[in-house]
Amino acid sequence: MMNLLLVDDQTSVLEGMLNGVDFESLGYTKVYTAVNAADAIKICEENSIMVLVTDIEMPGQSGIELNEYLSHRFPSIIRIVMTSHSKISYAQSSLRLGCFDFIMQPSPYEAIAQILKRATEAWNLNFNNRRLIEYGALFKSNSNEFLAKAVENLYVGTNDEVEESMELLNKAGYSFTMDSLIHLFWVDVHTYTRKEPDYPSQRYLIRTLNDFVPILVDTDSQNYFIVMTPFRMFSIFIIDSNRNLLSVEKERINKFFLSLQQKFGNESLTLYFSNPVKYRNILEEIHCANKCIGNNVSGKPGIFNTSAAKSPDVPTDASKSINYKYWDSMLRSGQYSMLKNDIQLHLDRNILDKPNSLELLRRTHQHIVNLFLIYFYENNIEVSSIFSKDFTYQDCMDSFSNINAVMQTVDFLIGVSKNSKKAERTEDDYVSRVKNYIINHYNSELSVKEIANSVHLNPEYLTRIFKKETGIPLKDYIIECRISTAKDLLVNSSLSVSTIASEVGYHNFSYFAYLFKKLEQVTPREYRNRFGTQSSQERLQD
C-alpha cells in the first residue's frame, strides 16, 4: 500500500494534480494534501507516508526547511520538490538534502506521473533491500532456529514441503538443487537427548560439532550446516551441488566419533550416518534413518550406518511372550520389585536388538501403562492427580522411545502404587487412633476439632477419611459410642437415667433421651425395663 502526500500553499495546484494524475494506476492507494509545512509534518507523524511532493516557496516554513526536517525525522520517505525555472538553485539545494527528484513548474501531468512512477519503483526496491538486510540480520542472530524450521518438514512433512525447505535453505545461503547429493549424519548425545541432569547446552554442542566437521569433509569445497532435529539429536547436512559426493571414508567417520568422545569426556554418544542421496529422495532416507535410530531402544553407543540397516518390516506381536496375568498379580499383591525385574527381563530378552524393536517396545509400553491405569481405576486413584509438570500424562504416554524411558515410567507408576497403599494404611491408622480417643473421652465435651488435633490432622480431612473408612460420619460415631455405653449402664448398673446421661457426656437429659429413642426406638427407661436386671425398688428410685 503506497501513500502519497502533496504539499502546496495554492489549493488550485493541489486540485489540478488530484484531477490530472491517475495516482491509482501509479500504485498509490491514498493521496493526502497539505497547504503548509506544519500540516505536512502532522500528516507524516500520523500516517505512513512513502512519497512526498512539496512546493518550495510557501508561507511560514519553506519546502527546503520541510525537506531538511523530514530527512532527519522520516528518512525513508522519498521526497520530490516542485519549483519554477527561475528558482533552479532551490532544486539544487533540495537534491543536496537527499531529495529523489524535482519537478519544474509548470510541468505537464504526464511528466509528473513519470516521476511519481519512478518514485514508486524506488520505494519498492528500497523496501525489498531493507527487508533482505533485516532477514539477514535475523538469520545471523537466530541461525540455529532458522535452520531447524527449514528442515523440520523433512521429518514430518510431505514431498511438496521438501521443495519449500530447499528454497528456504537457498535463501539462507546454502545453494543446491533437488538433484544435489546430501550426506546425512546424526549425533545422539544421550544426556542431552534424554534431558538428563546437567546436560550440555544446545549452543555448546553445535559449536563443538562445527569444530570437528572438518574431520569428516573438506569444508572449503563442500557446504554443510548443523541443526537440531525434532527428536533432540543433531543432524549434519553435507551438501554437494556438483552431484559427485562420495561416501565419507570409514577412517574419517571413526576419527570424527573418537574425537567427539574425547571432547565430551564421559558423555555417552551414538553416531548415525547415511549413504549420499539426492535431495529429492531425502524423505525416504530420513524415514529409514528414523527407523534405524528408533530401533536402538537400548541407546547403545557406537556408529551405525542407517542405509545399511534398511530391512523389510517384520510382523509384530508384542503380547506373545508376556504373562500379563502374572504382572497383574504382582502389582495387586504389592510385589513391586519382582514386577519391575520381570518387566526389565522381558524387555532385554524379547525386544532388545530385534529388527522391529521400536514397534515391539511401543506395544509393550502400551500394555504396561494400561495395566497400571486399570489398577488405579479399580482402586479409586484419580489418574489426573498423580501427574505434575515434572512428569505429565503426555510424558507417560510418549515414553516408549527407548528402554530407559519405559523403565522410568514403570518406576513412576510403581511409586504411585506404593504411595496409594501407604496412604490407605495411614488413613486406617488414623481412624483407629480416633476411635480409641473417642472411647477414652466419650464422657467429655468432644468436638471434631479437638479429635482432629489429637491426631494432628485437619478437621475436614479427618471427617472425610473417617467416613471413607467406617461408612458413617464422625459425629454419628461419637453418638453411637455414647449411646452404646449408656445401654450397658442401663442394663448392668443401678445408676439413675439422669446420672447415666451425665456419665456419657450429656448434661442435657432431654437431649440424651431424644438421641437414645432416635437410635433405639424406645426411651432409656423402657430400655432398662425391657433388658435390665435391677430390682423394682431400684427402678422406683429412678
Q: Are residues 175 and 296 in the same domain?
A: yes
Question: Residue 267 — φ and ψ, nearest 5°?
Answer: -65, 140
> CATH number of the domain that 17 lies in?
3.40.50.2300
Q: Are residues 184 and 295 in the same domain?
A: yes
What's the pLDDT tens digit per position in 18-69? 999 999 999 899 999 999 999 999 999 999 999 999 988 888 888 888 988 8
Q: Are residues 162 and 192 in the same domain?
A: yes
Last residue of a domain, one of 138, 166, 193: 138
Which H or E run contains 531?
Answer: helix 524-531
CB 67 within 8 A of CB 79: yes
Q: Are residues 160 and 96 in the same domain?
A: no
Phi/psi region, residue 395 (left: phi>0; alpha: psi -120 to 50; beta: rest), is: alpha
Give how many domains the chain has, as a whole number.
Answer: 2
Q: Does residue 123 lie within any of the structural domains?
A: yes
Tell me if residue 232 falls in helix, strand or coil: coil
Task: Find the length of the chain.
Answer: 542
Q: Are residues 10 and 87 in the same domain?
A: yes
Grid cell digits, residue 134 = 533485516
Q: Does residue 420 lie within any of the structural domains?
A: no
- Separation between Cα atoms, residue 504 and residue 218, nearest integer Å: 96
C-alpha dihedral, 207 to 286 to 259 to 358, nearest 10°: 110
Does the pLDDT value for residue 336 go beyond 80?
Answer: yes
- Separation between Cα atoms, residue 239 and residue 228, nearest integer Å: 17
Q: Does residue 313 lie within any of the structural domains?
A: no
Q: Does residue 356 lie within any of the structural domains?
A: no
pLDDT number for residue 351: 84
- The mean pLDDT value for 370-397 works out to 84
- Residue with more model confidence, 161 or 119: 119
Q: Does residue 156 lie within any of the structural domains?
A: yes
Going by C-alpha positions, the residue among 98, 69, 97, 93 that lies closest to residue 83 is: 93
Q: Does residue 65 lie within any of the structural domains?
A: yes
Task: Give the 3-state secondary structure of 364-385.
Answer: HHHHHHHHHHHHHHHCCCCHHH
Grid cell digits, residue 354 = 530385534
Does the pLDDT value for residue 313 go beyond 80?
Answer: no
Q: Are residues 148 and 115 in the same domain?
A: no
Q: Are residues 105 and 212 in the same domain?
A: no
What's the pLDDT tens digit per position in 144-158? 666 777 777 777 666
- Separation between Cα atoms, residue 369 and residue 12, nearest integer Å: 83
Last residue of a domain, one of 108, 138, 168: 138
Tell me if residue 342 falls in helix, strand or coil: helix
> CATH number of the domain that 220 lies in?
3.30.70
Domain extent for 286: 143-305
Lowest mean pLDDT among 175-189, 312-326, 397-411: 312-326
